[in-house]
């Protein structure tokens, strides 16, 4: 089945206001920049986003955030984005901070059809006990806080119950994909893209290179095409346009 669509705009055209999205990437590594820019152009708002982080100012999900298109964020890291902090502290944004490994497992479990799981991560903290500020009031008080979660002893250890996550759509980026949606990710871009892809009921994948079915070694495939509904082939210029969060250099000849 050929899942390649003509453009990113066509691929995200049915993502409407109020939709929930799982978005792949880690920092600015492996984020679906072209799909996010296309989504920005649709005007869809009131979005719920599940992602490791919410981009940076002017990049990735940060574009949607700056345009006030995002209502709720489930993430594990919110640094490098001043507008994110401003909206959160001003009471304009609902934020559910989640331990990084727990967030990855919430997405993976959702994609695997598992409703919930127990983990020791967060026991004895506000993650389990409740009280994490999800939304502030304009005066700085907490308008909405997290509820306590179930905790039980399993194998002699306290474990907190975490519900899995599924979303209406998933937006991800691969290094290589075939026309059936089988995909290979590069290095750190593999962290959150595969679980995000499996958690979305409709998954849209942008690929830096698209090959014919049969060209990928089956043993090299990180994400089976069964989880992908649409593939967008990037131009060489789009594939090469990759942001760097913090550029660090040293003087030529300086010892490392």
pLDDT of 16 > 90? The answer is: yes
Collapsing DSSP states into helix, strand and coil, what is residue 210?
A: strand
What is the C-alpha separation between 63 and 36, in angstroms, rounded?
Answer: 8
pLDDT (average), residues 159-164: 98
pLDDT (average), residues 13-21: 98
Query: Secondary structure of the chain: what % helix, strand, coil (to 5)?
Result: 25, 30, 45
* DSSP at 91: T
pLDDT in tens, 101-157: 999 999 999 999 999 999 999 999 999 999 999 999 999 999 999 999 999 999 999
Considering only 22-26, 55-59, 91-95, 158-162, which range has the smallest mean pLDDT? 55-59
pLDDT in tens, 30-54: 999 999 999 999 999 999 999 999 9
pLDDT at 167: 98
pLDDT (average), residues 175-199: 96
Q: Give the pLDDT band (50/70/90) at residue 252.
A: confident
Greatest Cα pair distance, the chain, in angstroms, is 59
pLDDT of 204 > 70? The answer is: yes
pLDDT at 255: 66
Calculate the average pLDDT of the chain: 95
Rounded to 5°, angle at Cα 49 from 99 and 188: 60
pLDDT at 256: 58
What is the C-alpha separation between 13 and 203, in angstroms, rounded?
Answer: 13
pLDDT at 199: 98
In contact, 55 and 65? CB cutoff 8 Å: yes
pLDDT at 79: 78
Can you give the pTM of this predicted structure? 0.93
CATH architecture of the domain formed by 1-115+164-240: 3-Layer(aba) Sandwich (3.40)
pLDDT (average), residues 188-205: 96
pLDDT in tens, 60-93: 999 999 999 999 999 998 877 899 999 999 999 9
Place of tokens 């206001």: 17
For residue 135, how many C-alpha atoms fall within 13 Å in the half-sphere facing its CB? 10
Q: What share of the chain has pLDDT > 70, as a percent?
A: 99
pLDDT (average), residues 190-219: 97
């Amino acid at each position: 089945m050929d899942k390649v669509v003509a453009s990113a705009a066509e691929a995200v055209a049915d993502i409407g206001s109020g939709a929930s999205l799982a978005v792949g990437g880690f920092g600015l590594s492996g984020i679906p920049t072209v799909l996010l820019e296309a989504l920005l152009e649709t005007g869809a708002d009131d979005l719920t986003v599940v992602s490791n982080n919410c981009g940076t100012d002017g990049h990735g999900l940060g574009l949607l955030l700056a345009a006030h298109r995002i209502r709720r964020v489930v993430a594990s890291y919110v640094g490098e984005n001043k507008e994110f902090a401003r909206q959160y502290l001003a009471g304009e944004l609902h934020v559910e901070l989640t331990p990084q490994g727990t967030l990855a497992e919430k997405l993976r479990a959702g994609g695997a059809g598992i409703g919930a799981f127990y983990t020791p991560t967060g026991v004895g903290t506000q993650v389990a006990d409740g009280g994490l500020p999800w939304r502030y009031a304009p005066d700085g008080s907490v308008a909405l806080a997290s509820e306590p979660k179930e905790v039980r002893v399993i194998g002699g250890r306290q474990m907190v119950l975490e519900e899995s996550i599924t979303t209406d759509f998933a937006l991800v980026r691969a290094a290589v994909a075939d026309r059936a949606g089988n995909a290979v990710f590069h290095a750190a871009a593999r962290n959150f893209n595969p679980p995000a892809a499996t958690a979305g009921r409709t998954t849209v994948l942008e690929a830096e290179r698209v090959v014919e079915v049969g060209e990928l070694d089956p043993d090299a495939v990180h994400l089976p095409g069964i989880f992908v509904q649409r593939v967008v082939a990037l131009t060489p210029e789009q594939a090469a346009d990759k942001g760097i969060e913090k550029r660090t250099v040293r003087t030529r000849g300086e010892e490392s």
